[in-house]
Structure 1
């Protein structure tokens, strides 16, 4: 049953808003009740389905018996087929699903069963007739015509049976009766089948019964499908993809790592076919006995077509043979299987860790379940894990998702982990799995009933043992690299033999050990990496990989300066995990020189990628090491404090001042880190209105830059001078310096400098009320920002674009940009100062629309954030925002603004969340001017 039909059955036309989650909880509870009785609730392409070890549900038993009878008819075993038809009909007790007529599924389900019975009765009647049991054939045909009175085929079989029994007059009377019924109730004439039969009876030219084909009996009979312990969750899209492929003959191979659920998927798909009348054979090839038994059965299947002439109707139901756990196929069995593939009326559904590699083989790789927070509710991995929890455990979703992430969504591992909740809390389990990975789930006593091996470790070991030697070397090198990595880094790590690397990557992906991603990226699954590292004496990656990654980074970093900055940034971003892993390994293993070199190289990357907080943390970790060079130590500290200034950390200016003075005393060589440090210090002092200090240190930066004779440092000091001038209120000079810098950046092609300078120019243009120019440059800044990762710099571009739009009266469009600024601040890059700026620009827009209550809350929330940064609202705002605030003050008075905005001032973070969610704009009184509270008339009409 589909989720929709179950929802309708439970709640009718008015389901609650939580219906989807409630239904999942009901199904989960039902599964827990049914599993002890050997019944599972599975998800299929059609919806939820009850599955049992033996098909004792009468409707399923009926379809199975009919399918077996159909197969017996194909092979000429008419007596056996007749017995199976009789067995199927004895299951009927009236009409299907009596008492369930109110349920939505009833009509279609009943109609399908009734049609299946009518078809089976007709086939049974023909089977009896071909055996020579004419009287019994007449009885069955009479039942068929009563059960389905408008079925001409049933009437034809009844007439034919009476004719073969020597009762010609009764035969003709039967046809006349059918004609009258069709004419009187449907207004139809009989079709060609009845008309042709009537003519043959009148002329005594009815064809004789054909000689029966030689019977071929499959020995042993059809095996029962396994009841998978891995519940089918999150596989609906895969089953939908598989469904049309199952309609055609050939070979379909389900591949993937052991424990991923291949058997469960194959059993679910094949059982669905069998219930719908397809003949299906299940063969487990995991043991030597299974292989020999399979060979005997396959010989029978191969020989059967030689003795049977199949009708078009029978050929349309392609027989299915499921070969489960087929990793050991070779020799005679492989030869016979290849013969089978030449028989175009057979479908082989194969499960194994790697493709067979045969011609025209259709391969579907089964990946682990998706994991991680999802907007629609728990992830498929979390849903499966929660179904296996011990009774009484409250599934805290954050701990559940953390466990699923550590186990990478592997179904077998999730079920084993869920078992541990019998004696371990979820939080403890999440901590254990996070620290120890799969080893915390699969101990030495772990056993699986769903795999032909004793543990997941043995499953991975068997997969690794089957690899070619070249693939083994690729596996070893991949184990040295943590997380997602690019082909370029793997190529650097593996050496010049690229053909071995390519072949190895292909085999590792086919075996499920390696995951392929976009942009030619790859990741060794954690379970495989743990297996490889555990086999090493030192149980850790090769230290040489750090030097390879350092060289890889050093070759890319120069590209972060200049016109190809975006491309270089993407290359490093794709290798982020192995690069950070190498930095952590260098710190852990005492490779201090490598750690320092990596930290300095990554400074520009962290800046452009907007990973300032993470970068600061790593720089501090490297700086805390026992370094041989005092110069390196002080430069790392300056770099870390500079990053702190970028994210507006309180107190960074004091630390930065002390470090820079210390560097001057030590005579540290002047480079970008030193000049940038002085620039950052001057910028922070300008923000805090410490103009004398800001001018002093900006001048210091300019002197050092000139002394270095480095054009890029001279430009850096010039840009800083414009920044300080802007905070001094000299926006004309600040704008002139920004425009000068933009011209230089256009010539050099440095995308990062261009973006910074464009935002500076837009800010100054807005403050000078040159709004059309500000709009034009902010649009250009947006185009440049599209090539950068989301972060503080992109937030600044969005913020200033919104500032210009608000000044121009385009409030609604500006609101979208500002909401995204706040979302970035919440999700990944906290920035109290940027948050305050976004809030007071939003407040100005709300005040302009006369939504005074909202405006008061937003202004006061911005005031609270600025106070935490040591700033005040009035001096921070641009001219148009100040004017809107003054207008609001005139309408309400400052006291009432303070009263109405108390919620924003006391809990500003709550206001931020209400903006991101959109709830703030639905405040009941928000659409009315707040003068209703103060008794003041509006200064202008709404929307003017």
Structure 2
């Protein structure tokens, strides 16, 4: 890897002589073709990256006139009959539609005499129009079906975008919610299934979609209001209330928006208007939300002015007033259900409690899901304690029920049914059929099928009954709403201590009255909460241990957490005696294939992908079932899935990881499987680091960096030769992302350990060490590496991989010599690299050599020729898909422009051209995720700003560059070889100090914005 200095001064003839002695001339014999897997400079084919999902090849739109596009081109569907035929098949969602059903959809009451024959003609015509996708329209029984993927239909895309927007809104991400909901509404180009006739089925589907559209409109307006754009939201809400005057949520949002615009009188006028409208036209009063909002407006409640969360965008979530807390509204004590609340305080679940309250007000079957010890039962009990209930609530503990057929009897016992002689299910229905109440079924994971069947039966037969279940997995019942109970956060959104620490401190205070945490104890507590994943049960057990140990000692011994944490205290709601038993309750009943996979996942650090899980799956299990096993583990709350990233990221809680490691019958084989996957990943990414896919490769490495570190650490202990190969292949990653100190440490450790490594692997590692040395060492160290390590290890350079490494050595050396001023040595080394690149067909070596030779022309006093050569090299690099050489060429070009500006009055005005080149260079390096060279660009830009008469910005930027360079581990003095003019003389001492202080506070985005002006 070359030094960052592109133009500098000073000779170093010792290194030049060493390489000249072993240099190859252009006429050297050519080697065999380089295999793609062995050389980091091979050009790779590009592939699409980025985005939440890729546009499907076939797109079908029925939210408006029926339209189809194939590969981005519109498909001519013909007349209304063809459009109705396709729309009716899409409405069936992949299910077959009989010939008679299609005839009715296409012609209605005016079907032709030979309608089925005519239908077949239209089907054939439609297949021809679909072209390559004709196979999607297939005959099925006595009808047809259209098996287009769901994501290709705009109704599905609309639903997904709507769900995404609502999730963002629930997570307080108002701007993201607004974008998602705007995208959702953009799918609509008219009425749903506009081409279909008004049959009962079409009207029902159209009505359902229309209601979702109206909901999306309201969610969009709520998101705009939550994002703080009250004036625009008010304008849109006024139109929305005119369009649907009986939808009370729109009126409530309008009132809230007007109030936030400082229009309190208008808000009250709207409330009076909607009250009169509902009374005159429907004879009803406003609903509870509008009534409550009116009280808040009249009281000028300050919370109305703070659109800080998505909940604020919905009036029903505004704070309760003193009137709402009157005795007549307080809940009935839970004690009458037969189960008292725990004596310990309930902390950290206010949001979940509010969400559960809202959901159960509208839904009749809700399941709380989450991992062991997360507090599902406690949340259900606290909800029930705050719920008025004439008969219940009834809590049924199913943890001790082992047989499915006993579930109904356990429920009967819990609600107080005595002397049940016949079928307990019939007895339950007889008692609950006409009574309101809440039935809580706790710990259902081992009885899912039986509980699901009974829940369906009870909800169907008892219309006033609501059922709340707790389980590690959903019941998978139609109409069931699942609410995930997540571990408590260690840190709050604002960076302060989160609910996990609050719970831990509260529980410690119960065993150590009067205790107040010191600063050191707070830090130890954060470590404990992080290691225990914020799981309430684990935190309570840790707190109990503070009677014997300090928090620092607990944090230190959590490697053996199951022995350390001990047993659960009496009176706890959990039925498990220890944390170990709680985890075992989730893991041990798993199917054999799922459990075998789970026990292979503990070595992963920072999560893993489906591909990674497949790679470590134990022998003897079908690879095709990896996804099925992961799906099962996620549904059982043993593994978590983050679907907001691509590819989906799966994770184990640290406590489950520790349990799996302890229970793994073959831990050494498991670690070796993980390390093998890491080696394969490094091999794949290393080939891409120098080519068109460098950016995606670096992003992959960054995502998997914790796993790479774990795999390298394993190999350093057990297979040091493989560790040496990996750290050498990752040379450009260490440098580009600023991990130079880590890279050097790992290289030195691997070189010491891998005494039996091949010459090629040792040469690659030494070459990587040399390139890192350019950033953190001096020329003497670089010369030593070349003389004593790299050239001897490369041997006779007969193999293509050795020749490639030899060519890269010359590129690195050429750039180094260019930076220190040995122009002849730089030109010779670059020419040798061009010859090797030509032999191997390696674009990276060839283009890199040409750009360096163009830079040497500038140093020889031929700036016009050199700049033309740099422009040509940049164009060749871009044509080959190589962003890094293009960025380097544009950086060198900018420096040449600045030198000419500084040296000659005739060249004044080249600063603007230099800044343009620097912007392009920054874009190239940003595409490649190259943080180090982006620093080099910004360092040069500081001089450009000074020459552009922007001294304050120049000093700010230079100070910011120095700050970020130190953070990345790059020696700042290596970035200062181009420093024109001397920035220290541009401002007064006070002005310069102010600018430097401002610069150290600048973010990366702030720095980039300075050169965009």
The TM tier, using the shorter chain, reads 0.5 to 0.7
CA contact (8 A) 1:258 1:451 kept: no
1:449 corresponds to which residue?
572
Q: Following the alignment from structure 1 to structure 2, what is the Cα–Cα distance between the partners of residues 107 and 548? A: 55
CA contact (8 A) 1:612 1:643 kept: no
CA separation of 1:319/1:227 partners in 2, compared to 1, >3 Å: closer, same or farther?
Answer: same
Q: Following the alignment from structure 1 to structure 2, what is the Cα–Cα distance between the partners of residues 659 and 706? A: 24
Q: What TM-score, normalized by structure 1, do the two folds share?
A: 0.60
Q: How many matched pairs?
A: 651
CA contact (8 A) 1:254 1:363 kept: yes
Alpha-carbon shift at residue 801 of structure 1 (Å): 5.3
SS at match of 2:322: helix
Equivalences for residues 36-51 of structure 1 within 5 A: none
2:269 corresponds to which residue?
none
2:583 corresponds to which residue?
460
CA contact (8 A) 1:610 1:791 kept: yes
Out of 712, 725, 738, which is 1:597 matched to? 725
Residue 287, structure 1, aligned to residue 400, structure 2: yes
Residue 531, structure 1, aligned to residue 648, structure 2: no
Equivalences for residues 342-357 of structure 1 within 5 A: 342=460, 343-357=462-476
1:353-412 Cα distance to aligned partner (Å, 9 max, x none): 222232322112222223368643123333333334452441434433333332222222
Q: Following the alignment from structure 1 to structure 2, what is the Cα–Cα distance between the partners of residues 386 and 720? A: 62
Out of 456, 479, 492, which is 1:360 matched to? 479
Out of 196, 201, 226, which is 2:341 matched to? 226
1:474-517 Cα distance to aligned partner (Å, 9 max, x none): 21332353332222222334389454111211121122221212
CA contact (8 A) 1:705 1:713 kept: yes
Equivalences for residues 426-441 of structure 1 within 5 A: 426-433=551-558, 436=559, 438-439=561-562, 441=564
SS at match of 1:516: strand
Equivalences for residues 695-714 of structure 1 within 5 A: 695-696=824-825, 699-700=828-829, 702-703=831-832, 706-707=835-836, 709-710=839-840, 711=842, 712-714=844-846
1:29-80 Cα distance to aligned partner (Å, 9 max, x none): xxxxxxxxxxxxxxxxxxxxxxxxxxxxxxxxxxxxxxxxxxxxxxxxxxxx
CA contact (8 A) 2:773 2:781 kept: no
Aligned CA RMSD, in angstroms, stands at 4.4
SS at match of 2:753: coil
CA contact (8 A) 1:556 1:572 kept: yes
Higher relative contact order (CA 8 A, sep 6+): 2
CA separation of 1:795/1:557 partners in 2, compared to 1, >3 Å: closer, same or farther?
Answer: same
Residue 776, structure 1, aligned to residue 916, structure 2: yes
2:534 corresponds to which residue?
409
Residue 377, structure 1, aligned to residue 496, structure 2: yes
1:255 corresponds to which residue?
369
CA contact (8 A) 2:810 2:833 kept: no
Alpha-carbon shift at residue 642 of structure 1 (Å): 3.0
The higher radius of gyration belongs to: 1
SS at match of 2:770: helix
Q: Following the alignment from structure 1 to structure 2, what is the Cα–Cα distance between the partners of residues 782 and 229? A: 57
CA contact (8 A) 1:388 1:419 kept: yes
Residue 611, structure 1, aligned to residue 739, structure 2: yes
Q: Following the alignment from structure 2 to structure 1, what is the Cα–Cα distance between the partners of residues 598 and 707? A: 15
Q: Following the alignment from structure 1 to structure 2, what is the Cα–Cα distance between the partners of residues 903 and 817? A: 12
2:710 corresponds to which residue?
581
SS at match of 2:387: helix
Alpha-carbon shift at residue 724 of structure 1 (Å): 6.5
Q: Following the alignment from structure 2 to structure 1, what is the Cα–Cα distance between the partners of residues 446 and 883? A: 56
Q: What TM-score, normalized by structure 2, do the two folds share?
A: 0.56
CA contact (8 A) 2:500 2:534 kept: yes
Equivalences for residues 329-728 of structure 1 within 5 A: 329=447, 335-342=453-460, 343-371=462-490, 375-389=494-508, 390=512, 391-396=515-520, 397-433=522-558, 436=559, 438-439=561-562, 441-443=564-566, 449-494=572-617, 497=622, 499-517=624-642, 518-519=645-646, 520-537=648-665, 539-540=667-668, 541-589=670-718, 591-629=719-757, 631-632=759-760, 634-645=762-773, 648-651=775-778, 653-662=779-788, 663-665=790-792, 667-668=794-795, 669=797, 670-677=802-809, 679-680=811-812, 683=815, 687=819, 690-692=820-822, 695-696=824-825, 699-700=828-829, 702-703=831-832, 706-707=835-836, 709-710=839-840, 711=842, 712-721=844-853
2:875 corresponds to which residue?
743
SS at match of 2:651: strand
Q: Following the alignment from structure 1 to structure 2, what is the Cα–Cα distance between the partners of residues 107 and 577? A: 46
Q: Following the alignment from structure 2 to structure 1, what is the Cα–Cα distance between the partners of residues 807 and 491? A: 43
CA separation of 1:666/1:767 partners in 2, compared to 1, >3 Å: closer, same or farther?
Answer: same
Structure 2 unaligned spans of 5+: 1-300, 304-317, 418-424, 902-909, 1007-1013
Alpha-carbon shift at residue 660 of structure 1 (Å): 0.6
Q: Following the alignment from structure 2 to structure 1, what is the Cα–Cα distance between the partners of residues 336 and 571? A: 27
CA contact (8 A) 2:721 2:754 kept: no
Residue 877, structure 1, aligned to residue 979, structure 2: yes
Structure 1 unaligned spans of 5+: 1-101, 121-218, 834-865, 920-944
Q: Following the alignment from structure 1 to structure 2, what is the Cα–Cα distance between the partners of residues 447 and 550? A: 49
CA separation of 1:329/1:556 partners in 2, compared to 1, >3 Å: closer, same or farther?
Answer: same
Q: Following the alignment from structure 2 to structure 1, what is the Cα–Cα distance between the partners of residues 395 and 335? A: 11
CA separation of 1:666/1:599 partners in 2, compared to 1, >3 Å: closer, same or farther?
Answer: closer
Alpha-carbon shift at residue 726 of structure 1 (Å): 6.8
1:149 corresponds to which residue?
none
Residue 113, structure 1, aligned to residue 228, structure 2: no
CA contact (8 A) 1:546 1:583 kept: yes
Greater CA drift, 394-403 or 719-728: 719-728
CA separation of 1:103/1:797 partners in 2, compared to 1, >3 Å: closer, same or farther?
Answer: closer
SS at match of 1:768: helix
CA contact (8 A) 1:771 1:804 kept: yes
CA contact (8 A) 1:230 1:261 kept: no
2:52 corresponds to which residue?
none
CA separation of 1:503/1:664 partners in 2, compared to 1, >3 Å: closer, same or farther?
Answer: closer
SS at match of 2:565: coil
